[in-house]
Amino acid sequence: MSIKVLFFASLRERLGRGDVQLDASSPLSIAEVWQQASGEICLPANVLVSINQTYADATAQVQPGDEVAFFPPVTGG
Amino acid sequence: MSIKVLFFASLRERLGRGDVQLDASSPLSIAEVWQQASGEICLPANVLVSINQTYADATAQVQPGDEVAFFPPVTGG
Amino acid sequence: MIAVELHDGSFDPWRYLTDWQQTRQLSARSGATAVFVGTMRDFNEGDDVQSMYLEHYPGMTENQLHAIAADAQQTWSLDDVCIVHRTGEIRPADAIVLVAVWSAHRAEAFAACRHIMEVLKHHAPFWKKETLRNGTTRWVDKNTPG
Amino acid sequence: MIAVELHDGSFDPWRYLTDWQQTRQLSARSGATAVFVGTMRDFNEGDDVQSMYLEHYPGMTENQLHAIAADAQQTWSLDDVCIVHRTGEIRPADAIVLVAVWSAHRAEAFAACRHIMEVLKHHAPFWKKETLRNGTTRWVDKNTPG
């Protein structure tokens, strides 16, 4: 199984990648997903997280097969 | 000089008249204008008054040459 | 800019806004547009309404609408305000009133549009007379609450 | 009814509402329509903006907009809600967002329309990147206040 990780907007440009597949056979924390997908240690405080296209907080667990996205504050409308 | 008096909507229908010209050579009170134009003694409490197309209260003075209107609560929009 | 119009015949509020926008397309200065459209319903106070006659006070009605728009422009930071109102014989589903407000800021656009509608309902000299489906007529004696 | 649409090209909000209305003309059930249109301006934070790119999260963006509309229908008594939002390359004076709410009551229509805009601004996954007149680009890092 794998976890699909997406980055959007300024975060995508800063990291130089838009999506990453992580191998995962057991649940991971958001912090672990961030570290493995971004190559950075700490999840910046203003980065928003979604799991399977629903907002999640930094304490959520990610299951194998999930889609996780990291993105900056939204600016639509 | 004269005072032009207008009645609108249900008030016009109840009184059976839409406009009345009053002869006037000196100022009149709203109560006097009402009595002379409608033929009724008392100005009903829920009747609104305008002088020269601006809202007025029942204590206002009407000058010869003015246009006075009496009408029920408004229901536009 | 302020525009006030009375229509003694049906008008299409979206067509009106399309035309308005076309004359101002290039300025691009208003980030926020708030619009309200009031439409005639086919029921009121539990009865089926077939048609409605909207009486007004020619002269004073236009002046009041203009004053309401001007007052809103004093209170909020608005680019344009337009108020269009029907008069005469009206059928269910017809637009009765259009209030549109353009501003740089959405909070001001929303607040002004709503305020204009409330003041219009309470101060603009219009009177509705309904013809019910059973043929009887009646004057509407009070407005619907906000 | 709820309608949510993303447009990767310019759209005319008044044309959209005209079309919407034509399919519902006969029902005559909504007395109040409240509409908000957000339009791209040619300046932001003191700089001249030439164009804007609007990125979104395909799938999640539509889901979020639908959830925002459904939530409003739970809170207020609404007949219909539609949300239309641009994506991609946008020019000054283009419409970015249209929110339209139909209700029997004007207070509910106004409140729901305004609420939907605020929630959309804070929760719908869209990101604006501006190209200034001098050729530089920048991500907009926060929304304008309400």
Eight-class DSSP state of B28:
E
Asked, for residue C54, whether it belongs to a domain, the answer is no
CB pairs under 8 A between B and C: 72
CA atoms within 13 Å, Cβ hemisphere of D128: 25
| CA gap D21, D15 in Å, rounded | 10
D and C touch per CB criterion (3+ pairs under 8 A): yes
- Quote the pTM value: 0.94
pLDDT in tens, A65-74: 999 999 999 9
Asked, for residue D92, whether it belongs to a domain, the answer is yes
Cβ–Cβ below 8 Å for A6 and D63: no
pLDDT in tens, C71-128: 999 999 999 999 999 999 999 989 999 999 999 999 999 999 999 999 999 999 999 9
Asked, for residue D109, whether it belongs to a domain, the answer is yes
Task: Please check whether residue A22 is in contact with residue A2, taking contact to mean a CB–CB distance below 8 angstroms.
Answer: yes
Cβ–Cβ below 8 Å for B8 and C127: yes
Nearest CA distance, D142 vs chain C (angstrom) = 15
Q: Give residues 96 to 135 of C whose Cβ lies within 8 Å of B.
A: 96-97, 117, 120-129
Asked, for residue C52, whether it belongs to a domain, the answer is no
Q: Kindly report the CATH number that applies to the domain delimited by B2-71.
A: 3.10.20.30
- pLDDT value at residue A7: 98
Q: Residue C44's beta-bridge partner residues?
A: C47
pLDDT in tens, D13-47: 999 999 988 887 555 568 999 999 999 988 887 78
Q: Look at chain D and report how many structural domains it folds into.
A: 1
Asked, for residue C48, whether it belongs to a domain, the answer is no
Which residue type does C112 have?
A: A
B60 vs C: CB within 8 A? no
- pLDDT value at residue C85: 98
Coil, strand or helix at D14: helix
Cβ–Cβ below 8 Å for A76 and D56: yes
Domain with D112 in it: what CATH number?
3.90.1170.40
Of B13, B55, B74, the CB nearest to C126: B74
- pLDDT value at residue D20: 87
- pLDDT value at residue D47: 83
Query: Chains touching chain C at 3 or more Cβ pairs under 8 angstroms?
Result: B, D
Compute the average pLDDT of residues C17-41.
Answer: 84
Find chain C residues with C-beta within 8 A of B77's C-beta: 38, 85, 96-97, 117, 120-121, 124, 126, 143
Task: State which residues form the domain around C118.
Answer: 2-40+59-126
Task: State the sign of the Cα–Cα–Cα–Cα dihedral C11, C13, C15, C16.
Answer: positive
Average pLDDT of chain B, as a whole number: 96
Nearest to C62 by CA among C126, C111, C109: C126
